[in-house]
C-alpha cells in the first residue's frame, strides 16, 4: 500500500511539490480521488505511480518528464509499506509488484490488440493465467529460454572460431564441440516448445473466460459491440469483433477499426479489456488499482454504470486511486464510498501541489459557493493567505449577485459593484434603491474599497498584508448586507 507521498521534484509541473500539513499531510487512504484540471500534472502523477511496478518502459517515460524550468534531476519519494521508496538517477530503490493502471496509454494500446505480455516479465494476459498453472511452469520456461540463448551465443562464437582455425590441428576438435552444443541446444529447444505448448493451451482455456468477461462489460458500456473469438498470434490475442452484427478481425486489412470505431467504442473496448483482466486476477485484494480519466468519450448512461463498477472495485482492491478532470464524476464516485481521501492538484508557489479537496464546496456554483466560503471562514478561520485572499475575492461577487437578482430591472449584466453604488447615490425617492442610502450604502462602499486593495488591479495586491480581525469584520458586514439587500 502507498502510505504517503513525501515529495516530487523536477518532474513535469511538479517542480517542487513538497507536503504542507496545512493543506494535506501526504497520507493516502485505501480509496483516493484526485481532481485536476487538464495540464496540471494528473497524467504525470499517473505515470509516476505506473513506474513503481519497475517496468523499464514506464520508468523511462517518467525520466522524459523532467521539468523544463530546471537542470536538476527528477527526485521522488513515497512511503510504501512503511519503507522509503525513492526515485533518483532514473530508477526506484524499491518496486511495487502488484499495481494496475488504466490510462490513455493503456486505452491506445488495447483498442485493437490484447497484449499477452512476455515470459521474462509476465504482465498483461499471462499475469491472469499464471496463478492457475503449475508453479514450476514459468520458472522452467525461463530456464529453458536462458539455456537456449546462451547456447545460441556459444554456437555463434564457436562457428567464428572454426572459421579462424580452418585447416589447423584444432579444427576437427572445434567441430565436434559444435555438434555436441547443437545437440544440447536441440534438447533445450524441445523442452521450451513443450512448455510453450502447455502455456498456449492455458491461454486458449482462459481466453474463453476472458472473452466472456469482456463481453459482460461491453454489454454494459456498448451493446453494439461483442467479441466472438480470440486467436493467439505471437505475443498477442487477435479478436473477432461484431460491430452492429458485422464481424471484423482486428488484424484484417479489409476493415480499419481505427476508422470504423468511434472514440466511445474504443474507450468501451479498452475499459472492458482492463476490467475483465482485473476480474480474472485471483488476488484483487492485494492489488493497487489506478484509473486516470476512465470516462473518455462516455455519455451519461455509461458514466453511471462506470461509477458503480469502480465503486465495487475500489472496495475489493488493496488500494484505489481515481484521477479525473471531471469534478462531477469525482463527486458521484465519492458519494458511494466511505472514508475516501479527496485531493486536488493546484498550482501554487511555481509548482503543482496536492491539497485536500472539499467536493461539496467545489461542486457548488456562483453565489451559493461564495456564501459558503464566507460562512466557513467565520466558523473555522483560515490557515494561509491563499485562503484569506479567496475569502476576500468572494465578497464583491456575492453582493453583486444578490443585487442582480433583486434589482434586475435597475442594473444590467455588464455593471459591477461600483456601478451599483453610483445607482444608489444618484437615485431619487421613487427608486427601489432609495432605501439603501445611508448606512447600507456606506457599508457596501467600505467593503468595495477593502476588496479593491486585494484585487489584481492593484499592482501590489499580493504584498498587501491581511489581518484576520479586520477581515472577519468585513465578512460579518457582508453577510448582514446580503440579508438587508
- Could you tell me if 263 and 375 lie in one domain? no
Is residue 269 in a domain?
yes
Q: Based on the domain organization, do 139 and 264 belong to the same domain?
A: yes
CA 91, CA 93: separation in Å to the nearest integer? 7
Task: State mean pLDDT over 48-72.
Answer: 91
144 & 250 share domain: yes
16 domain residue, yes or no: no
* Cell (9 digits) for 47: 505515470
* Residues 152 and 271 grouped into a single domain: yes
Task: Tell me which of 224-238, 247-261, 448-462 is least confident.
Answer: 247-261
The larger pLDDT score, comparing residue 112 to residue 353, is at 353
The pLDDT score that the predictor gives to residue 475 is 95
Residue 438 domain boundaries: 364-484
Domain boundary among 248, 282, 316: 282
Q: What is the mean pLDDT of residues 287-311?
A: 84
Q: Report the run of H or E that residue 354 belongs to, with start and end.
A: strand 351-356
Who contacts 176 (Cβ-Cβ below 8 Å, separation ≥6)? none
Quick one: pLDDT at residue 66? Answer: 94
- 338 domain residue, yes or no: no
Q: Identify the domain boundary among 251, 282, 313.
A: 282
Residue 236 confidence class, pLDDT cut points 50, 70, 90: low
Across the range 194-213, mean pLDDT stands at: 81
In a domain, 75, yes or no: no
Q: Is the same domain home to 375 and 274?
A: no
Q: What is the pLDDT of residue 257?
A: 65
Q: How far is it, in rounded angstroms, from Cα 203 to Cα 193?
A: 15
Do 125 and 251 belong together in one domain? yes
Same domain, 273 and 179: yes
Whether residue 119 is found in the same domain as residue 268: yes
Please tell me whether residues 376 and 267 are part of one structural domain.
Answer: no
Task: Using pLDDT thresholds of 50, 70 and 90, give the confidence band for residue 319.
Answer: very high
Instruction: Residue 13: name the closest of 56, 74, 80 by CA.
Output: 74
273 & 384 share domain: no
Q: What is the pLDDT of residues 467-478, one digit of tens each?
A: 999 999 999 999
* pLDDT value for 300: 66
pLDDT exceeds 80 at position 466 = yes
Q: Which residues of 17-41 are buried (b: 16+ CB within 10 A; e: fewer)?
A: bebeeebbebebebbbbbbbeeebb
| pLDDT higher than 80, residue 6 | yes
For residue 328, being part of any structural domain is answered with: no
Helix (H) or strand (E) holding 342: strand 340-348
Number of domains observed in the structure of the chain: 2
Listed residues 282, 316, 346: the one ending a domain: 282
For residue 10, being part of any structural domain is answered with: no
Res 387 pLDDT > 90: no
Question: Do 131 and 254 fall within a single domain?
Answer: yes
Let me know whether 120 and 265 are in one domain: yes
**Is residue 144 in some structural domain?**
yes
What pLDDT was estimated at residue 423? 93
Collapse the DSSP code of 364 into the 3-class scheme (helix H, G, I; strand E, B; otherwise coil) and give the result. coil
Q: Are 246 and 234 in contact (CB under 8 A)?
A: no
In the chain, % of residues over pLDDT 90? 49
pLDDT at 341: 95
pLDDT band at 136 (very low <50, low <70, confident <90, very high): confident
pLDDT tens column, 46-56: 999 999 998 88
Confidence of residue 250 (pLDDT cuts 50, 70, 90): low
Domain presence at residue 145: yes
Amino acid at each position: 500500500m502507498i502510505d504517503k507521498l513525501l515529495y516530487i521534484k523536477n518532474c513535469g509541473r511538479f517542480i517542487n511539490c513538497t507536503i504542507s500539513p496545512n493543506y494535506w499531510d501526504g497520507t493516502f487512504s485505501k480509496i483516493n480521488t484526485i481532481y485536476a484540471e487538464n495540464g496540471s500534472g494528473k497524467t504525470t502523477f499517473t505515470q509516476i505511480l505506473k513506474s513503481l511496478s519497475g517496468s523499464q518502459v514506464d520508468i523511462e517515460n517518467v525520466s522524459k518528464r523532467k521539468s523544463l524550468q530546471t537542470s536538476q534531476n527528477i527526485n521522488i519519494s513515497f512511503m510504501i509499506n512503511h519503507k522509503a521508496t525513492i526515485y533518483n538517477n532514473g530508477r526506484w530503490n524499491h518496486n511495487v509488484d502488484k499495481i494496475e493502471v488504466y490510462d490513455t496509454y493503456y486505452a491506445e494500446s488495447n483498442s485493437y490488440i490484447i497484449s499477452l505480455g512476455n515470459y521474462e516479465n509476465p504482465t498483461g494476459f499471462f499475469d491472469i493465467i499464471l496463478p492457475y498453472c503449475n508453479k514450476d511452469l514459468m520458472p522452467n520456461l525461463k530456464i529453458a529460454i536462458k539455456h537456449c540463448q546462451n547456447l545460441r551465443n556459444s554456437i555463434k562464437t564457436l562457428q567464428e572460431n572454426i572459421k579462424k582455425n580452418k585447416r589447423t590441428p584444432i579444427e576437427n576438435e572445434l567441430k565436434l564441440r559444435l555438434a555436441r552444443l547443437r545437440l544440447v541446444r536441440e534438447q533445450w529447444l524441445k523442452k521450451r516448445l513443450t512448455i510453450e505448448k502447455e502455456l498456449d493451451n492455458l491461454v486458449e482455456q482462459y481466453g474463453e473466460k476472458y472473452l466472456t468477461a469482456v463481453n459482460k462489460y461491453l454489454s454494459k458500456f456498448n451493446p453494439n459491440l461483442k467479441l466472438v473469438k480470440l486467436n493467439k498470434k505471437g505475443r498477442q490475442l487477435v479478436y473477432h469483433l461484431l460491430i452492429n452484427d458485422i464481424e471484423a478481425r482486428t488484424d484484417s486489412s479489409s476493415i480499419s477499426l481505427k476508422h470504423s470505431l468511434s472514440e466511445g467504442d474504443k474507450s468501451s473496448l479498452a475499459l472492458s479489456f482492463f476490467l475483465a483482466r482485473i476480474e480474472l486476477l485471483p488476488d484483487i485484494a492485494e492489488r493497487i488499482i489506478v484509473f486516470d480519466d476512465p470516462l473518455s468519450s462516455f455519455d451519461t448512461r455509461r458514466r453511471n454504470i462506470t461509477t458503480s463498477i469502480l465503486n465495487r472495485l475500489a472496495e475489493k482492491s488493496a488500494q484505489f486511486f481515481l484521477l479525473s478532470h471531471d469534478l462531477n464524476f469525482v463527486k458521484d464516485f465519492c458519494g458511494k464510498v466511505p472514508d475516501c481521501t479527496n485531493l486536488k492538484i493546484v498550482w501554487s508557489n511555481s509548482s503543482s501541489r496536492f491539497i485536500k479537496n472539499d467536493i461539496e464546496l467545489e461542486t457548488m456554483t456562483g453565489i451559493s459557493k461564495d456564501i459558503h466560503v464566507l460562512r466557513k471562514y467565520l466558523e473555522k478561520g483560515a490557515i494561509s493567505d491563499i485562503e484569506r485572499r479567496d475569502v476576500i475575492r468572494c465578497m464583491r461577487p456575492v453582493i453583486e449577485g444578490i443585487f442582480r437578482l433583486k434589482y434586475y430591472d435597475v442594473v444590467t449584466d455588464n455593471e459591477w459593484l461600483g456601478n451599483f453604488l453610483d445607482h444608489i447615490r444618484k437615485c431619487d425617492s421613487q427608486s427601489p434603491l432609495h432605501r439603501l442610502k445611508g448606512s447600507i450604502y456606506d457599508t457596501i462602499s467600505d467593503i468595495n474599497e477593502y476588496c479593491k486593495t486585494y484585487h489584481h488591479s492593484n499592482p501590489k495586491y499580493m504584498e498587501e498584508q491581511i489581518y484576520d480581525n479586520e477581515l472577519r469584520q468585513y465578512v460579518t458586514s457582508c453577510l448582514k448586507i446580503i440579508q438587508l439587500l
